[in-house]
Chains A and B, each alone.
Chain A
Amino acid sequence: MPPTYDIAVIGAGVIGCAIARRLTLDGARVIVLEKAPDILDGASKANSAILHTGFDAPEGSLEWRCVQEGYREYEAIRSQMNLPLDRCGALVLAWNEEQEARLPALIDQARANGVDDVAALSRAETLALEPNLAPSLRTAFRVPRESLIDPWSAPHAYLLQALLNGAELWRDCAVTGGAFDGQLWRLETARGVVGARYVINAAGLYGDRIDALLLGETAFSIRPRKGQFVVYDKAAARLARHILLPVPTDKTKGIVVCRTIWGNLLVGPTAEDQEDRSTADLDTPTLEMLKRKGAEILPALAGEEVTTIYAGLRPACEFKDYQIKAHEGRNMVTVGAIRSTGLSSSLGTAAHVARLVSGLGFAASPLSDPELPRMAMLAEAERRDWQCPGNGGMLCHCERVTLREAEAALTGPLAPNSFAGFKRRTRATMGRCQGFYCGQAVQDLLNRGTGA
Chain B
Amino acid sequence: MTPLPDTFDVLIVGAGPAGLSAAAELKSRGVASVHVVEREAEAGGIPRHCLHSPYGMREWGRVMFGPAYARRLLAEARAAGARIHTATTVTALLPGGGVELSTAEGLRRINARAVLLAMGARETPRAARLIGGTKPGGVMNTATLQEFAAFSHHRPFRRPVVLGSELVSFSALLTCRSLGVRPVAMIEPGARISARAPMAALPPILRVPLWRDTRLLAIHGQSQVESVTVETGGNTRRIACDGVIVTGGFRPENALLRAAGLAVDPGSLGPVIDQYGRLSDPAYFAAGNLLRGIETAGWCGREGRRVARAIAQALAGQLPDPALSRPLACETDAVAFALPQRLSPGGPAPAFDRLQLRLRRPYRGDIALNGARFHIASRPERRILRKLPDA
Chain A residues with CB under 8 Å of chain B are 37, 230, 233-235, 279-284, 287-288, 291, 303, 305-310, 386-394, 397-398, 400, 403, 418-420, 432-437, 439-441, 443-444, 447
Contacts and interface: CB of A to CB of B under 8 A. Distances in A.
Closest 4 CB pairs of A and B: A434-B125, A440-B147, A439-B144, A235-B258
Interface string B84-105: 0001010100000000001111
Nearest to B39: A397
A386 B102 contact: yes
Interface string B142-159: 011001100110101000
B223 interface: yes
Interface stretch (B15-23, B132-140, B354-362, B376-384): B132-140
B3 interface: no
Contacts of A403: 104
B268 interface: no
A393 B87 contact: yes
B217 to A, nearest CB: 7
A324 to B, nearest CB: 30
A445 B58 CA distance: 37
B106 A440 contact: no
Nearest to B147: A440
Contact of B218 (A281, A308, A432, A439): A281
A433 B250 CA distance: 11
A447 B253 CA distance: 28
A394 B125 contact: no
Interface in B125-181: 125-128, 130-135, 137, 140-141, 143-144, 147-148, 151-152, 154, 156
B91 A386 contact: yes
A305 B134 contact: no
B91 A440 contact: no
A230 B135 CA distance: 14
A283 B107 contact: no
19 contacts: A230-B130, A279-B222, A281-B132, A284-B217, A291-B130, A303-B266, A387-B107, A390-B105, A391-B102, A394-B87, A398-B255, A400-B91, A433-B125, A434-B125, A435-B141, A436-B125, A436-B140, A440-B144, A440-B154
Contacts of A432: 255
Nearest to A402: B104
B131 A419 contact: no
Given A307-B127, A398-B255, A436-B123, A280 B104 contact: no
A444 B152 CA distance: 7
B79 interface: no
B102 A400 contact: yes
Contact of B132 (A234, A235, A282, A307): A282
A284 B105 contact: no
Contact of B128 (A234, A284, A305, A441): A305
B128 A307 contact: yes
Contacts of A388: 106-107
A338 to B, nearest CB: 23
Nearest to B106: A389
A281 B87 contact: no
Nearest to A387: B107
Interface of B: 39-41, 87, 89, 91, 102-107, 122-123, 125-128, 130-135, 137, 140-141, 143-144, 147-148, 151-152, 154, 156, 217-218, 222-223, 251, 253, 255, 258-259, 266
A435 B125 contact: yes
Contacts of A398: 255
A281 B127 CA distance: 13
Nearest to A283: B132
Contact of A419 (B41, B125, B137): B137
Given A282-B218, A386-B89, 12 more contacts: A234-B259, A281-B218, A305-B251, A309-B130, A389-B106, A394-B87, A433-B122, A437-B40, A440-B152, A443-B152, A443-B154, A444-B154
A290 to B, nearest CB: 9
B316 to A, nearest CB: 34
Contacts of B266: 303
B218 A283 contact: yes
Contacts of B140: 435-436, 439
B89 A397 contact: yes
Nearest to A285: B132
Contacts of B137: 419
B123 A394 contact: no
A234 B255 contact: yes
Nearest to B223: A418
A208 B16 CA distance: 56
A282 B104 contact: no
A137 B40 CA distance: 46
Contacts of A307: 127-128
Given A284-B132, A393-B87, A436-B141, A306 B104 contact: no
A109 B106 CA distance: 49
Contacts of B41: 393
A391 B147 contact: no
Residue of B106, B130, B154 ringed by the most chain A CB atoms within 10 A = B130
B347 to A, nearest CB: 32
Contacts of B132: 281-284, 287
Contact of B259 (A235, A281, A392, A433): A235
A230 B127 CA distance: 9
A230 B132 CA distance: 12
A308 B127 contact: yes
Contacts of A282: 130-135, 218
A325 B105 CA distance: 53
A235 B253 CA distance: 13
A248 B101 CA distance: 44
Contacts of B253: 433
Contacts of B128: 305-307, 434
A420 B144 CA distance: 17
Contacts of A288: 130
Interface centre among A282, A307, A418, A440 (most CB of B within 10 A): A440
Nearest to B130: A287
A217 to B, nearest CB: 31
A288 B259 CA distance: 26
A440 B123 CA distance: 15
Contact of A309 (B40, B127, B156): B127
Contacts of A392: 104
A105 to B, nearest CB: 37
B219 to A, nearest CB: 9
A272 B51 CA distance: 46
- Which of B89, B103, B147, B218 is the most central at the interface, judged by chain A CB atoms within 10 Å of its CB? B147
A393 B39 CA distance: 9
A309 to B, nearest CB: 5
B78 to A, nearest CB: 21
Contacts of A279: 134, 222
Given A288-B130, A386-B102, A400-B102, A440 B148 contact: yes
Nearest to A287: B130
Contacts of B152: 440, 443-444
B154 A284 contact: no
A439 B147 contact: yes
A107 B21 CA distance: 63
Nearest to B257: A235
A153 to B, nearest CB: 20
B144 A436 contact: yes
B154 A447 contact: yes
A291 B217 CA distance: 18
Nearest to A310: B135
